[in-house]
Structure 1
Amino acid sequence: MRDIIPICCAFFLAILILFFYPNNEVKLQPGDISFTSINAYNDGFEVISLVNIPSNTTIHFTDSEWNGNRFGADESDMVWNTGGQVIKAGSTVSFTNLGSNPRVSIGTLKNKLRISKKKEAIFAYLGSTRMPTVFLAAVGNDEFAYGTLINTSLQMDKSALTFPKGTTYASYQGPYIYENRDEFYKELRKLSNYEFHKLKRTKDRNGIYELAPRSQ
């Protein structure tokens, strides 16, 4: 009987710990967020959460190229803490002025990130700076801007959203209501669902911004 009492006490203590201190481990997987815009004019982008994101989740961003095993030593790194509240699935989060005065609509940011107008890709991942444990999403304005997607578990034109070469501004204007993730990816791939701007050059090499033609 004396042996049973300590066992029972330990059991109830374990129950209390689980009840009052639930497991807050982040379990986000590739594709659980998706980029929906990129803005190289003002260094910004938007992401949408496709699942509930736990409070105080730390997500890293970098525009360094991935070689299949590691990131390069160049480019920028930015860290996003999602804040004290759960971000509900379907929420859009805006990141603006990242190259000068970084701001985010939910949570807080650390460091700056400049977005190039040519051959640029941005990765979002869990882990630590340049040491990813889980790749969540990517966006690029050139299919060769990523370096490679090998060993990221990201899929081109799904969890890695790729715009036509030379795109400097693209903002998703399509539907956000979908039955499953593949249906949403299908909408994300339709160029007709975006407002586009592209950087073009005149014959005298002066840069001008011009609305890009929409196509599907």
Structure 2
Amino acid sequence: MSEIVVSERMKQILIVVPLLSSALAVFFDVGYFYALDVNLFTVFSLAEHINFALEALPLALGGIFFAAVGVVLTSRLLHAEDKSKERIRTAGRAPSWKDRWPLLVQPAVIGILALNTWLRPGLVNYVMLGSLISGAILLWIIPSGGSRLTFMTMGTGSLLFALSFALGYDIATGYAANAPYRHTIKIGLLELKAKVVRSGEKGLLFHDEASKQLLFLPWSDIKRVSYK
């Protein structure tokens, strides 16, 4: 009987994980274009966006794995917190560090993440910090039991999509601000120094060094694209 249950769960995992990974990867590409110009999203087809999103697929799979680990660790930490509170409540002595340490983990993590956000501002860090603070408050309000696990599971799923969007946004803004212009695009007798953003069936999306603008050119106007 247990083997049948395990088999059914494996089937569910094999169906859910690829679908969830693909959805997260698409959210990454939406965030990427939102940072550039969301109106340019429709220049490329859905199939092209899915293809673009494949670059984020390893990150999505890693995010799902770490999210699952995070839910398990958080569940155990909350259980330790509940036991610690019970020991402090029933102890006939002053609470020791052994009693108090589970209560200090969340404030410590929030403090470290707040410092990292201040030193390295970015949408990903803001999303992480905001979700951790709001999650800590809600978990403090929600009583112990199955409702906590349900909240953590739903909250983690929502956080994954928000982080995928934020990661795409941060990568696009970082690429636009810091990446060197390594492409040369020849248009007639003119050569443009550029950094290519996306290449699709209709044409090429790129940052132009001279005008500092984001441009899209159809392939019929482009003679050559070189990289160095």
TM-score normalised by L of structure 1? 0.22
Whichever structure has more strand as a proportion of its residues is 1
Whichever structure has more helix as a proportion of its residues is 2
TM-score normalised by L of structure 2? 0.21
Q: Which has the larger radius of gyration?
A: 2
